[in-house]
Structure 1
């Protein structure tokens, strides 16, 4: 864990306000490669953040540097620095985006989730505001502050719980809620979202294949998929 002790926070740390949350503000730093999260008040989970900083991932953006004022006492902790997310929020991506690349990137995200789960990580708040996508680099996940680490070795159950966090966002952004003309698809949504028995990428693939057969045409873009979803919904 790298500590940065300052007598004053440089203006470079506040290049652009990215967002405001319940505990603090996130700023893009002047180098445009990193984000500074500044807490408004003293927090009681610094040890948890320090533990998260030991995890290495190119997808999940954990804290990597800890910023203090004057001394590294807990009471002087200001915030942390992480890598900046690449791309845009997942629910804002362009309809011309290649759908097969979205699917393969989703699978890579699930593999990384499995890897972190086997290291004892429990995930939280994988919503569309925290999920970024870029066609070239795939997914980035931010706002990992309340992820927990555990020594419980029931990895299968933990992975299901983590997948349910992702499933809720994927269903919201891609499948959207409603009844579909296929009972099998409706059942698959429940198995994925409520129980974590189907990976989100597998669920989306099932819908993609159903739409392909229904329309007799390939689902090449996100726009194709969105049109297909509307086509197979029960009106």
Structure 2
């Protein structure tokens, strides 16, 4: 199998171990390292933002250990494949119960790393073929007496309004009790990105970004009159996602 690029994230609280793994991964042209983290909470946040294909994950990390991170990440609609890289062999059983694709013991053996990456490639190929064979999924939005099934491509943006979330298309607005975080997970396989604590946008519809105040911006979306706020903390990752 020849997977063009495996978007990869590395999480390890030990700087030396992290740099060693990053160095070894340079010898695999199919691996595209898109980020790294040194704590469990940071890992979960960045995985939600970057949505990699593959996560190399240490076990012992501050704030949240690797198995807890894996349990949270597995709840995503499209979670990354996970390979544990740790100095602790005793956690292997728990790791594979979490459906890990590999369990590498530090110091990492290059041959074992190559075998693991080959297994990851095969798994990604199978997943891609399975996804192509499935009918297109739709977002179910329950109303008072009906359920609307929305194609993700027709959704322009989603925002949180008091105790409900509003899903906006070019023709209608729908209300759902689903929290914004849940909608973010469900829409993660599509072109949606959080630009504000209360807003998700369909990035394929973005036409313009205008400076607002204090480093914040406003987005223009194709076919939508409303301007969408972009918090200053989200400006850089948004630009990294949508720009060539």
* TM norm structure 2: 0.27
Q: Which protein, 1 or 2, shows the higher relative CO under an 8 Å CA cutoff with sep ≥ 6?
A: 1
Bigger helix fraction: 1
